[in-house]
Chains A and B, each alone.
Chain A
């Protein structure tokens, strides 16, 4: 079934249409959410919110535009919202820890204790840098496409990408040197 047809089905409230849309894009969107947020639970929340927002606002979507890019735009905003939530939660835990030092063990904190090497590299990038890197490397987006998605100018998107690539290269090289010395 063609995408436009599925979207028209969704507009009529067809559950099958929703299922088709979710099934078609969930893996790509999940990968991007995981790359930006770094953990599964938050990525799942962001993804569900993305699909809900998309279906809620489907009437406003221009069918001539790329639905995938539109979904990515929504996902990016949901991820930023999720990051804000995480920051607030982290601040709350920090304050509670300071106020009641004995009541919290290290496990009480919603932090990523065991991170893979790639996750630890991505952690050094800003969310916008992670997003552009993911769109560029995984999806092959151009800078103008990325800028539309991020809501910035193409030159800003290119600078984000440059920074991300530079940071990653430096960290990969450092890791290679460390492995050689080991």
Chain B
């Protein structure tokens, strides 16, 4: 009796379930007095709701069918719309490339100006070269243009379709 009480006390203070399970297997599930303190399957069943007791489930099918139809309709609408997610990916890719090109452009221009200032001479015709632009790892169509009387160069890149 005392042995069982000690084991049960240990069970409650042990922190890990694997240790508790060890005690369960070693003692509690084999000891008649410990088993007496556990509800049997019949006792558990007596307080649980059984499948046979559940009634009026016909409505459930109709509700479920309604939800299922709604879901199918939504799916069809989603399929009809051209991949919205893909569009966003495409736009994000394009924006990133443009940003990268613009940053590179300004960065290199800044370096050039510094070099020119260091050399003490001014070069009027700067050159701008663009080797390639990729969108989503694919070569993109690229347009470079400069508005009149402006030092701004605009690079427009779009995906090759």
> Cβ of A34 and Cβ of B54 under 8 Å apart?
yes
**A138–B46 alpha-carbon span in the complex (Å):** 10
Q: In chain A between 28 and 70, which residues have their CB closer than 8 angstroms to a CB of chain B?
A: 28, 30-31, 34-35, 44, 47-48, 51-52, 55-56
Question: How distant is the Cα of A167 from the Cα of B57 in the complex, in angstroms?
Answer: 31
Q: Does B71 contact A (CB under 8 A)?
A: yes
CB-based contact A27/B44 at 8 Å: no
Q: Does B13 contact A (CB under 8 A)?
A: no
Q: Is residue A166 within 8 Å, beta carbon to beta carbon, of the partner chain?
A: yes
Contact indicator B38/A19 (Cβ below 8 Å): no
Instruction: Tell whether A31 pairs with B50 under 8 Å between CB atoms, given A153-B18, A162-B38, A168-B43.
Output: yes
Query: How many contacts A-B (CB < 8 Å)?
Result: 107
From B21, B41, B44, B63, contact of A159 by CB (8 A): B21
Contact string, B48-61, partner A, CB cutoff 8 A, digits 1/0?
Answer: 11111110010011
* Interface members, chain B 100-124 (any A CB < 8 Å): none
Q: Are A166 and B51 neighbours in the complex by a CB distance under 8 Å?
A: no
Chain B contact residues (Cβ within 8 angstroms of A): what range? 20 to 34
Residues in A neighbouring B63, C-beta threshold 8 A:
44, 48
Q: Which of A31, A47, A153, A164 contacts B17 (CB 8 A)?
A: A153
Chain A interface bracket (under 10, 10 to 19, 20 to 34, 35 or more): 35 or more
| B65 cross-chain contacts in A, Cβ below 8 A | 15, 18
A136–B20 alpha-carbon span in the complex (Å): 19
- B43 close to A26 (CB less than 8 A): no
- Bound state CA distance, A34 and B52, in angstroms? 13
CA gap between A133 and B48 in the complex, in Å: 9
Contact B18 A137 (CB under 8 A): no
On whether the beta carbons of B41 and A137 are closer than 8 Å, the reply is yes
B28 at the A interface (CB under 8 A): yes
Is A18 touching B68 in the complex (CB atoms < 8 A)? yes
Check A138/B50 contact, CB under 8 A, given A133-B44, A153-B18, A169-B43: yes
Which A-B residue pairs are the 4 nearest by beta carbons? A155-B21, A137-B44, A118-B47, A168-B39
